[in-house]
A and B are shown apart, each in its own frame.
Chain A
Amino acid sequence: MTAAMEAAAAGREQIDSSASTDVMIQMNGVNKWFGEFHVLKDINLTVHAKERIVICGPSGSGKSTLIRCLNRLEEHQEGDIIIDGVTLDSNLKNIDQVRSEVGMVFQSFNLFPHLSVLQNCTLAPIWVRKMPKSEAEEVAMEYLERVRIPEQAAKFPGQLSGGQQQRVAIARALCMSPRVMLFDEPTSALDPEMISEVLDTMVELASTGMTMLCVTHEMGFAKRVADRVIFMDGGEIIEQNTPHEFFDNPQSDRTKLFLSQIIGHG
């Protein structure tokens, strides 16, 4: 366990109580098909503000598709998705509004290689929020300090290590002051020694009360930080529970099979 995770575990009570009763994300009867393939089956999910959710499950279970539907990187064919009161449909204005409130961190970082780290972080605030350049740069430096790489601001993504790039990606998403952060397997493409620095950043972010949905295989992270763990398989939500209950008392057979396969992780 990293130091930040132990500190988070110690301060568990404080972090717990920050989950509020406002509904941030509401998914009702969401179904999605890729052509003939039914990839999301009747998803019903409610996420409250400041809740931290970890979604886990075997490959191909639809976890990434689910969170990608939340910022319209994928379109759902049936059901409703309502984020912070805005219904996500084909209305472009709604989509743009949701995307500026929802930040996303990708498995392959997706930093813009032709821009410096600072320019990566200031691009969206300047062009979407119409912030003046100096203000955007101040905000960017603040977040770069929070992810502990302010000295890399003038470098280009190609000059950074994987862990540093992912932290820049997190800072870049935070610069838009999103209300929800989505993480799509953020540490899956990293070398083991870099995973901890990214997870530390995410734990610190969680402790500030950000609403987070995280698809990950890092069960240690789930145990320490998550308010709720959701297990998906074959496009359905099989089980969701608090981490304690989920890991110690799995209800469904499929969950038990999955947990037995990843035992020893974290």
Chain B
Amino acid sequence: MSTVDTAKLGGGAPDRPPPIATVGVIGWLRTNLFGSVVDSILTIVSMVIIYYAFSALLDWAVFNAIWEAENRRECLNINKETGTSGACWAGVIIWFNAIIYGRYPYEEQWRINFAFIVLVLWLAPMWMPRVKEKLVYGLSAVVFYPFLGAALFAGGERGLFLQIMMSAAIVFFVYNCVNALVGLLSGNDLPDTLREKLGIQGKSDKAQRNILLAIAAVAFAVVFALTFTWTVPNVTWTKWGGLFLTLVISGIGITAALPGGIVLALGRRSQLPVIRVISVTFIEVFRSVPLITILFMATTMFPLFLPEGFTLNKLLQVIVAVCLFNACYMAEVVRAGLQAIPKGQYEAADAMGLGYWKMMGLVIMPQALKYMIPNIVGNFIGLLKDTTLVSIIGLFDVLNIIQSAISRDVPWRGLHKEPLFVGALIFFIICFAMSKYSQHLERKLSTDHR
């Protein structure tokens, strides 16, 4: 290693800043928009076209829009009077609650809002750099949150199993929040801080763990007892609708698709013939049939496969169908990621005696996920948009409400453009956010490999 500082060897020209016209905003404008005469003309022509297109859109959407009206007739009259064409947002504003919540009773909608806030708070620590063990937050949310959600959204009588899982979910949620807070403030996690505060660090590892588990058990029992008699009115699934229903179906679909896809992909690559044949059949059947056909088949054929007396309501049938459908697509994405890992990695893990599951979990999957992310998120975005198909079998998701409910409502009959515009905007916001998160994930994971 040379320790000679070449700069001190003398000589060498001093650094100068680059000319203004080649860097920064002006530089970008010069190279990209005004690089040559032809480029400049094209830029000016494009800008004129964009201006005309967007000014018309802006006029319709913002400047001439009607924000308050009783019905569509009134909107049309206002437009006729002012001689302009303005969007009749009034109809959408009046229907906005239904677009988001469907026919969920207004006084119970706080449960949906509350559950949503809980989910955000539950997952928020995964974005914070100082927090340790981020995977626990995600996994505990996947396993326990659905029960809390079910208890809140559906309400009504709770069976023992649901009561247990809901209490566990509440305990986990509180634990996560406190853990994250402690992590942010002191850099430790909650178990370590508790060990300090209780002064039990002297005892053996096993004794310490048992004490902490005992505290957790007590907390669980307290929550269980407190919530045992707490009920909320039942809201049947037929009233669920709007963006809420869309997010429930796609949320469950997304959460189930990835683990299901991993299982099917590993099954497809397995050496055991029975497992391989089952996996391949599953994947190929679901990939060869359009989702809408599967939804129809699910609602008509599912009862044939279930034991006597065990029925699923239409919403559950749809959710199962969507989960299976997406698991099969996800399986192919996972398989592509697994194939991208060089054979040498499998061999090195084998040669160490790691065994199949440890090899997959510690060596292969962490590397493969990096390759899979663009496709996984793409699948999720597709899944979110595909849930609009449930409107065809009579579930009132956001598109059904936008397309049919509003324009069938007597005061607003014929209102098509404005609700569709809002629907497109809602989907764009959600899908674009997912896309941006995917890019963030890719950047984060590829720097880990440097």
Point out residues on A near B: beta carbons under 8 Å: 71-73, 96-97, 99-100, 102-104, 106, 108, 110-114, 123-124, 127-128, 156, 158-159, 173, 176
Contacts and interface: CB of A to CB of B under 8 A. Distances in A.
Given A99-B353, A127-B354, A106 B347 contact: yes
A216 B342 CA distance: 23
28 contacts: A71-B351, A73-B350, A73-B351, A96-B353, A96-B355, A99-B353, A100-B353, A104-B348, A110-B342, A110-B344, A110-B347, A110-B348, A112-B345, A112-B348, A112-B363, A113-B449, A114-B366, A114-B367, A114-B448, A123-B354, A128-B352, A128-B354, A128-B355, A128-B358, A156-B449, A158-B449, A159-B450, A173-B351
A156 B348 CA distance: 17
A72 B342 CA distance: 19
B362 interface: yes
A202 to B, nearest CB: 17
Contacts of A97: 353
| Max chain A C-beta neighbours (<10 A), residue from B348, B350, B351, B362 | B351
Given A127-B362, A158-B450, A159-B450, A110 B345 contact: yes
A103 B351 contact: yes
Which size class do B's interface residues fall under? 10 to 19
Contact of B347 (A73, A103, A111): A73
Contacts of A124: 352-354
B363 A128 contact: no
Nearest to A129: B353
B348 A123 contact: no
Interface in B394-450: 448-450
A108 B351 contact: no
B352 A114 contact: no
Nearest to A175: B352
Nearest to B350: A73
Nearest 5 CB-CB pairs, A to B?
A99-B353, A110-B348, A110-B344, A100-B353, A124-B352
Nearest to A102: B351
A100 B355 CA distance: 11
Contact of B367 (A71, A113, A159): A113
A127 B353 CA distance: 10
| Max chain A C-beta neighbours (<10 A), residue from B352, B354, B366, B449 | B352
Nearest to A101: B353
Contacts of B350: 71-73, 99
A156 B446 CA distance: 13
A173 B348 CA distance: 10
Contacts of A159: 450
Contacts of B352: 99-100, 123-124, 128, 176
Interface in B359-400: 362-363, 366-367
Contacts of B345: 110, 112
A164 B335 CA distance: 32
B362 A123 contact: yes
B351 A104 contact: yes
Interface in B308-365: 342, 344-345, 347-348, 350-355, 358, 362-363
A73 B359 CA distance: 14
A176 B349 CA distance: 13
Contacts of B355: 96, 128
A71 B350 CA distance: 9
Nearest to B348: A110
A108 B345 CA distance: 10
A128 B344 contact: no
Given A96-B353, A99-B350, A114 B449 contact: yes
A106 B449 contact: no
Contacts of B351: 71, 73, 99, 102-104, 106, 173
Contacts of B366: 114
Contacts of B342: 108, 110
Given A99-B353, A110-B344, A114-B367, 18 more contacts: A73-B350, A73-B351, A96-B353, A99-B352, A104-B348, A104-B351, A111-B348, A112-B345, A113-B367, A114-B448, A114-B449, A123-B354, A128-B353, A128-B354, A128-B358, A156-B449, A158-B450, A173-B351
Contact of A106 (B348, B354, B450): B348
A97 B358 CA distance: 16
Nearest to A72: B350
B15 to A, nearest CB: 28
Contacts of A128: 352-355, 358
Nearest to B448: A114
Contact of B344 (A108, A114, A158): A108
Nearest to B355: A96
Contacts of A114: 366-367, 448-449
A16 B299 CA distance: 78
A123 B355 CA distance: 13
A134 to B, nearest CB: 12
A124 B348 CA distance: 11
Contacts of A102: 351
Interface in B53-97: none
Contacts of B353: 96-97, 99-100, 124, 128, 176
B446 to A, nearest CB: 11
B206 to A, nearest CB: 13
Contacts of A106: 344, 347-348, 351
Nearest to B366: A114
A152 to B, nearest CB: 14
Nearest to A157: B449
A108 B351 CA distance: 14
Contacts of A123: 352, 354, 362-363
A50 to B, nearest CB: 21
B203 to A, nearest CB: 17
A95 B374 CA distance: 38
Nearest to B449: A113
Contacts of B348: 104, 106, 110-112
A158 to B, nearest CB: 6
A176 B354 CA distance: 12
